[in-house]
Amino acid sequence: MNKRPSILIVDDEVSNIEILSAVLEEDHDIYFATSGTEALEIARTTLPDLILLDVLMPGIDGYEVCAAIKADPLIADVPVIFTTALGDQEAEVKGLMLGAIDYITKPILPIVVRARVRNHLDMKRMRDELAEMAVTDALTGLGNRRRLEKSLNQETARLSRTGGQLSVIILDIDFFKKFNDLYGHTAGDRCLTMVAAALNRAVHHASDVTIRYGGEEFACVLPEIDHLEAMEIALGIRDRVQALGIPHSGSEASPFVSVSLGVATAPCLPGSQPEAWIKAADKQLYVAKAAGRNLVEG
């Protein structure tokens, strides 16, 4: 959270990089590149918070680099500031029209560079925070429905290139209305948070996404997980929730809070509809509820 912002400085003249580094290195991690090609490579691997980009360079120039950055979803959000000796307005407009957020002319004035960089990094940080908030559930810290949609769209598109398997688990707390009635809404919220934590502990891959899908419904998106593995993970979630040992005297399924789970697995194919996994998992969840709850079906 408190990590130093990182800046990629791109200039074909090493002396220019040295000048800018000297101005910025005290408060920022600095990466540098001396050509457009190198700049794109480093930007994609380091994902810097800001790019200071020279215009005139042999090979692909700064304008082309900026256009390539803005066309690549991975790095399109990284703010670009042009730093150039080209002082005319046409050059400035061209840079801004390509998606750069600012334009600094050389020779640079250190205090001006520092001030502009600071403001743009502040805005970038706020934008990142808002973007993260927009896909996060406030109570549990899990992803929300928007993140579920995003992740399903991304994974089905990515896996359809290889026909890879995608599994989705949907789970719902059993007799939760009664839990609220018996123990109060605050205890209900605490229960939701504990179930969310248990869910996070039950999944293991960096690419797994855990979601609060609705009030007391959760989902997991498991890329490249086959049906057998997904069933095991679902059983693990069920066991972990039981092991929380949250008393629930109103449950007809268990003395403790329990969940019912539905599992859906299918290979991703061109044209696969992300909603198909949700529908199929939901159907199995319904079967688990009807069969007595505290159960996994898939």
**Total binding residues toward ligand GH3, as defined by CB under 6 A:** 16
| CB of residue 244 to ligand GH3, shortest distance in Å | 16
Nearer to Mg ion, 165 or 294 (CB): 294
Residues 209-228, mask of contacts with ligand GH3 (x by CB under 6 A): ------xx------------
**Of these residues, 216, 224, 252, 297, which one is catalytic?**
216
57 vs 121, beta carbon nearer Mg ion:
57
Separation of alpha carbons 8 and 257, rounded Å: 51
If the CB atoms of residues 82 and 179 are measured against ligand GH3, the closer one turns out to be 179
Residue 12's binding partner out of Mg ion, ligand GH3, none, with CB under 5 to 8 Å set by partner kind: Mg ion
Confirm or reject binding of residue 177 to ligand GH3 (CB under 6 A).
yes
- Cα separation, 248 vs 57, in Å, equals 69
Question: Does residue 156 touch ligand GH3 according to CB under 6 A?
Answer: no
How near is the Cβ of 187 to ligand GH3 at its closest, in Å? 8
Handedness of CA 32, 33, 36, 40 (dihedral sign): negative
Q: Which string of b and e fits 253-264 if b means at least 16 CB within 10 Å?
A: beebbbbbbbbb
216 part of the active site: yes
CB closer to ligand GH3, 215 vs 267: 215
Residue type, 115: A
How far are the Cα atoms of 8, 77, 121, 238, 246 from residue 49, in angstroms, in the given order?
Answer: 8, 9, 7, 40, 43
Q: How many CA atoms lie within 13 A of 219 on its CB side?
A: 26
Task: Write the CB contacts of 275 (distance below 8 Å, at least 6 apart in sequence).
Answer: 152
In sequence order, which residues have a C-beta less than 8 Å from that of residue 249 and are 6 or more positions away?
A: 182, 255
Among residues 63, 82, 176, 277, the one that binds ligand GH3 under rule CB under 6 A: 176
Which of residues 11, 155, 172, 282 is near ligand GH3 by CB under 6 A? 172
Ordered DSSP codes for 222-264? EET--HHHHHHHHHHHHHHHHHT--B-TT-SS-SB--EEEEEE
Q: Which is nearer to ligand GH3, 218 or 277 (CB)?
A: 218
CB 212 within 8 A of CB 224: no
Window 277-296: contact mask with ligand GH3 (x via CB under 6 A): ------------x---x---
Q: Which is nearer to Mg ion, 183 or 223 (CB)?
A: 183
208 binds ligand GH3 (CB under 6 A): no
Question: Cβ 152 to Mg ion, closest distance in Å?
Answer: 20
245 phi, psi to nearest 5 deg: 65, 35
Q: How far is CA 284 from the centre of its chain?
A: 28
Rounded CA-CA distance 292/252 in Å is 8
Task: Select from 69-77, 126-134, 168-176, 201-209 the region that touches ligand GH3 (CB under 6 A).
Answer: 168-176
Selected from 13, 25, 41, 189, the binder of ligand GH3 by CB under 6 A is 189
Tokens 């398997």 found at: 165
Q: Does 173 bind ligand GH3 (CB under 6 A)?
A: yes
| Shortest Å distance, C-beta 295 to ligand GH3 | 11
**Active-site residues: which are they?**
216
Report the interface residues with ligand GH3, using CB under 6 A: 172-178, 180, 185, 188-189, 192, 215-216, 289, 293
